């Protein structure tokens, strides 16, 4: 297990009243049981972000399991009970912090009203944590001001990822009728305006929300669904390739062949020769995907 941590005991300096870091650390390659049990909590706040694996924690009296991309915040006086099992191969970082402006800062970031948050992943978090620990250990001129700046940047980054995640989930619910229509029958030739109407949106707002969720335009997404369906039919049936193209909603055989080869690396006929009768291959064939 690797442990890197720093403790700021303020032996020679008075901590900033507004915001200060008391201690922080980074645990990785966890190969033994770890945990903390502070039933009366602490006088400061603590944030823990899980970067890999899982962690168990007690929140409001109930045991729960957290996984990578999640964060937990304990407020002053709240029980701090958490840990990782030796088989979890987890990694996480933690920070104890406090100050007069702490509650306001957490409220403004939307990180105060509950304990757990989905914050996703960002590789810059680790760099930020090590910068914070370096400032604590070196205690250069104005290091406390630098600590406050680094920590504020970290918190605002977490807050923006929470907002982004919530926005993406909301958008996913709104565009789901269009996705369901695309996946249920690829042969129906809906227009973008038709899909937007299904979702009760304007055409241009629908395009924006759809790409936010899928990373593709509606037609790109539908084409990918059609090609995946065609790939299954080539493996599992003896339907003529022209009929398969019609079935998946790409009736032009030349265009169908071009798109299929761009997606899977070989023309439809070659794919069938190699992977026809999927039962012989356990139905788990992947073949040289290319980006669209």
List pLDDT tens digits, range 79-128: 999 998 776 678 899 999 999 999 999 999 999 988 998 888 777 888 89
Q: In this predicted structure, what is the pLDDT of residue 192?
A: 93
Q: Which CATH superfamily is domain 185-292 in?
A: Homeodomain-like (1.10.10.60)
List pLDDT tens digits, range 40-82: 999 999 999 998 888 999 988 888 888 888 899 999 999 999 9
Average pLDDT, rounded, for the chain: 86
Domain 2-164 has CATH 1.10.510.10: no
Is residue 138 within 8 Å of residue 13, measured between CB atoms?
Answer: no
Q: In this predicted structure, what is the pLDDT of residue 287?
A: 36
Q: How would you label 236-245 residue by residue, b for 16+ Cβ within 10 Å and e otherwise?
A: eeeeebeebb
Give span(s): CATH 2.60.120.280, the chain: 2-164
Tell me: pLDDT of 157 over 50: yes
Among 13-22, 209-218, 248-257, which is the least confidently predicted range?
209-218
Give span(s): CATH 1.10.10.60, the chain: 185-292
Tell me: pLDDT of 195 over 90: yes
Scanning the structure block, which residue is given the tokens 């032996």? Answer: 11
Q: In this predicted structure, what is the pLDDT of residue 278?
A: 43
Q: In this predicted structure, what is the pLDDT of residue 288?
A: 40
Count of positions (residues) in the chain: 292
């Amino acid at each position: 297990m690797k442990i890197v941590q720093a403790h700021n005991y303020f032996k020679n300096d008075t901590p900033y009243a507004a915001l200060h870091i008391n201690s922080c650390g980074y645990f990785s390659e966890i190969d033994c049981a770890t945990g903390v049990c502070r039933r009366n909590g602490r006088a400061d706040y603590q944030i823990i972000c899980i970067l890999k694996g899982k962690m168990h924690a007690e929140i409001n009296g109930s045991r729960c399991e957290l996984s990578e991309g999640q964060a937990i915040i304990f407020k002053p006086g709240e029980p701090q009970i958490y840990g990782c099992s030796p088989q979890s191969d987890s990694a996480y970082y933690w920070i104890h912090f406090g100050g007069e402006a702490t509650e306001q800062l957490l409220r403004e970031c939307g990180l105060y009203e509950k304990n757990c948050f989905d914050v996703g992943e960002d590789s810059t978090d680790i760099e930020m944590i090590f910068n914070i620990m370096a400032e604590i250990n070196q205690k250069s001129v104005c290091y406390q001001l630098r600590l406050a700046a680094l920590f504020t940047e970290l918190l605002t980054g977490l807050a923006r990822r929470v907002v982004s995640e919530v926005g993406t989930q909301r958008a996913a619910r709104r565009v789901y009728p269009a996705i369901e229509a695309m996946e249920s029958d690829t042969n129906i030739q809906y227009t973008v305006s038709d899909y937007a109407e299904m979702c009760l949106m304007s055409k241009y707002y629908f395009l924006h929300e759809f790409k936010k969720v899928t990373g593709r335009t509606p037609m790109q997404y539908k084409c990918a669904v059609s090609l995946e369906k065609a790939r299954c039919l080539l493996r599992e049936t003896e339907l003529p390739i022209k009929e398969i193209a019609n079935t998946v909603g790409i009736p032009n055989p030349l265009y169908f062949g071009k798109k299929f080869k761009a997606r899977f690396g070989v023309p439809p006929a070659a794919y069938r020769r190699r992977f026809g009768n999927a039962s012989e291959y356990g139905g788990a064939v992947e073949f040289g995907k290319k980006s669209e």
